[in-house]
Amino acid sequence: MMQRMSAQASFGKGRPPSQRPTKLCAACGLPFTWRKKWERDWEQVRYCSDRCRKAGRAAPAAGQTP
List the Cα angle 42/15/38 in 5-degree steps.
Answer: 20
CB distance 37 to 48 below 8 Å: no
The CA R_g of the chain, rounded to the nearest whole Å, is: 18
Average pLDDT over all residues of the chain: 80
pTM above 0.85, yes or no: no
Most confident of 5-9, 16-20, 46-50: 46-50
Judge whether residue 11 has pLDDT over 60. Answer: no
DSSP characters over the chain = -PPPPPHHHHTTTPPPGGGS-EEE-TTT--EEE--GGGSTTGGG---SSHHHHHHHHHSPPTT---
